[in-house]
Structure 1
Amino acid sequence: MSTGVVLPYWLDRPDGEAVEIAVEADRLGFGTVWVGEMATFDAFALATAIGLRTKDIRLRVGPLAAGVRGPVALALGVSSVVALTGRQVDLALGASSPAIVAGWHDRPWAGAAPRMREAVRAVRSLLGGERLSVDGAHVRSHGFRLREPVPGAEVSVAAFGPAMLRVAAEEADEVVLNLVTPEQVARVREVVDGHAAKAGRAAPRLAVWVTAAVDPGPNALRQVSEQLALYLRAPGYAEMFTELGHGTLVAQAKAGVPRRELAVPRALLDAVCALGSAAAVRERIAEYHRAGADHVGVAPSTADDPAGRRVLAAVG
């Protein structure tokens, strides 16, 4: 079991804080930092900057939307970061959301699960040094081969719904969950293990992202609430929050209520985050490990804790 750090990309904080968080995580000896992508930096560019500013930490880029970059762009990005930083680099892929895939990037949203399966297989081939030749329903590419393969790079898949969980269990090195309860982790662990066994392969690891704040005050709670509100309408998340008893809140979000006006209850934050004293945060992370998570990625609140230093020191 391991604990890593997730760059949280808080909308109310300076963009450059992402690098500061990674540097602090490296200083404290964390083994992995997750470098995702929102509305600030290109993930591969940010991962390169972090690799040049840190000493040992492993870079896990993503989850990136599998429907936005093709396998060639994804593999080239991983290979570039490795070559420029000399660091170990892994790749995580996810479906993302219609707003990002179709709205921001003008890419088709339909067929997320079969597209993921084809993307993972194609990226694996490229990272392993093969010349790509695929004619899938969603991925079609011919002739490219990396000059600098990365055969040791792992591929993770962020999953929620039944179809994507099956793809992740059958194809990925690791399944990634975000904003879930320990009880949901236990259920997913069972589902993933079952799918993997039927496919005749070892079950992939299970990673969980957990937002954390030590002794959170009003600013930290507001920061976490507004960020969680972004997920209330997203496929998979909406159903999960409804299952937790917050269907009215989900309906309000889907009806267009601005995220800052959505009254996210503390009970929902406590259900899917690690909030409280340093000891309580450590115990909460341990709950996720006991539920079946092989890896917990801590996303630190920084509203009252620049670069998440108190949170990272508490769990590092």
Structure 2
Amino acid sequence: MRLGIHTGYWSAGPPDGIQDAVVAADRLGVDSVWTAEAYGSDAFTPLAWWGSRTTRIRLGTAVAQVSARTPTATAMAALTMDHLSGGRFVLGLGVSGPQVVEGWYGQPYAKPLARTREYVQVVRDVLRREAPVTSSGPHYPLPLPDGVGTGLGKPLRSTVHPLRADLPIHLAAEGPKNIALAAEIADGWLPLFYSPRMDATFRELLADGFARRSPERSPESAFEVSATVPVVVREHVEQAADQVRPFLALYVGGMGAKGANFHRDALDRLGYAEACDEIQAHYLAGRKDLAAAAVPTAMVEDVALVGPPEKIASDLAAWRETAVTTLLVQGEATAVQTLAPLLAAPTPG
């Protein structure tokens, strides 16, 4: 299992000390660093900056939002990033949710699976540069059909040649169909709330997608599962869990409308529907402190690594047995130093 860092998206501004942390991770031998975007900072620009300060660490978006850019614009950014980084870029894509897609980008959210499939195909066509890019749509038609625009559009091929025509594309997914789609059309899956307890279920969903995978895609054995895992090292478990509760409360209560919150759905499937009801009710009523307090410690321990180093080392054994290939640390920079020797150590037994 490899080790990565997930820096997330900015709140009011850039996180303090993040560049130094990325440079230190590069020197430590950490596999990858990942960024996100919501409706503030973008996912590509920080990676370009950090890439200029590092030499070996892979640079990934987790995720770049599909509705933020046309597929050709995303492919252009990926081509550019891959050249500038010397082949270190990984394109992670996600559909986000209707609140952001329709409220921030002014784009329709309907048919997210079909949109994702079409989007990825256009991106791959740009990256391959085998022919001028065309798409019959219906979501991203290229060129624009007659009667919609001026009628002067024509198929184009990227002026930039790819450094890697097979640049890896990963998909964020939480629902069962989305997870299977990632295994079918992508080179990796970016889960947010992975739990070792659900590993058998996740493996079944991945197997469903692998069964439909084109032989032209990278082999199943090369498929990556890069799970974002909050890691907080403290002497006492409850003290560590308290650092994660607000994050879980935000995603359960505030990252999606009631009845259309895919993050909450993922935690429901873990068996926390009743707790999620309470968390969401508090959060939507503006009681964020009570929402965080309602997050059970068991929920935190299911999706995070919290407590003293010896407990984290013990809990890590279960993660080693999962389909996860890279553990993306979310949290304090010191957590990377705690996990690095643990992951480097041979598996017991």
Confirm or deny: 8 A CA contact 1:64 1:93 kept in the other structure.
Answer: yes
Alpha-carbon separation, structure 2, partners of 1:109 and 1:216: 44
Alpha-carbon separation, structure 1, partners of 2:251 and 2:106: 20
Task: Note the alpha carbon deviations across 1:292-313, whole angstroms, 9 max, x for none.
Answer: 21222121x23xxxxx1x2111
1:305 aligned residue: none
Alpha-carbon separation, structure 1, partners of 2:12 and 2:304: 19
1:245 corresponds to 2:271: yes
1:209 corresponds to 2:228: yes
1:278 corresponds to 2:309: yes
| Greater fraction of residues in strand | 1
Provide closer, same or farther for how the CA distance between residues 282 and 6 of structure 1 changes in structure 2, counting only shifts above 3 A: farther
Confirm or deny: 8 A CA contact 2:240 2:307 kept in the other structure.
Answer: no
Alpha-carbon separation, structure 2, partners of 1:16 and 1:152: 35
1:315 aligned residue: 339
Question: How far did residue 136 of structure 1 move?
Answer: 1.5
Task: Note the alpha carbon deviations across 1:173-232, whole angstroms, 9 max, x for none.
Answer: 111211221122331122212331244654333221111011167886444221222211
Secondary structure of the residue aligned to 1:160 is: coil
TM-score where L is the length of structure 2:
0.80
Question: How far did residue 145 of structure 1 move?
Answer: 2.8
Secondary structure of the residue aligned to 1:208 is: strand
TM-score where L is the length of structure 1:
0.88
Question: How far did residue 66 of structure 1 move?
Answer: 1.7
Alignment RMSD? 2.4
Confirm or deny: 8 A CA contact 2:252 2:279 kept in the other structure.
Answer: yes
Confirm or deny: 8 A CA contact 1:93 1:156 kept in the other structure.
Answer: yes
2:248 pairs with 228, 232, 241, which one?
228
2:23 aligned residue: 23
Matched residues, percent identical? 28
Alpha-carbon separation, structure 1, partners of 2:136 and 2:299: 44
Provide closer, same or farther for how the CA distance between residues 219 and 137 of structure 1 changes in structure 2, counting only shifts above 3 A: farther
Alpha-carbon separation, structure 2, partners of 1:280 and 1:13: 33
Provide closer, same or farther for how the CA distance between residues 282 and 40 of structure 1 changes in structure 2, counting only shifts above 3 A: farther
Secondary structure of the residue aligned to 1:187 is: helix
Secondary structure of the residue aligned to 1:118 is: helix
Which residue type is aligned with residue 67 of structure 2? Answer: G
Q: How does 1:1-316 map to 2 (within 5 A)?
A: 1-9=1-9, 11=11, 14-130=14-130, 131-142=132-143, 143-146=155-158, 147-149=160-162, 150-199=164-213, 201=215, 202-203=219-220, 204-215=223-234, 221-233=241-253, 234=256, 235-255=261-281, 256-258=284-286, 259-262=288-291, 263=293, 264-299=295-330, 301-302=331-332, 308=333, 310-316=334-340
Confirm or deny: 8 A CA contact 2:2 2:326 kept in the other structure.
Answer: yes
Bigger RCO (CA 8 Å, 6+ sep): 1
Which residue type is aligned with residue 226 of structure 1? Answer: P
Provide closer, same or farther for how the CA distance between residues 216 and 87 of structure 1 changes in structure 2, counting only shifts above 3 A: farther
Which residue type is aligned with residue 7 of structure 1? Answer: T
Q: Which moved more, 1:253-262 or 1:173-182?
A: 253-262
Which residue type is aligned with residue 303 of structure 2? Answer: V
2:151 aligned residue: none
Confirm or deny: 8 A CA contact 1:64 1:96 kept in the other structure.
Answer: no
The total of aligned residue pairs comes to: 309
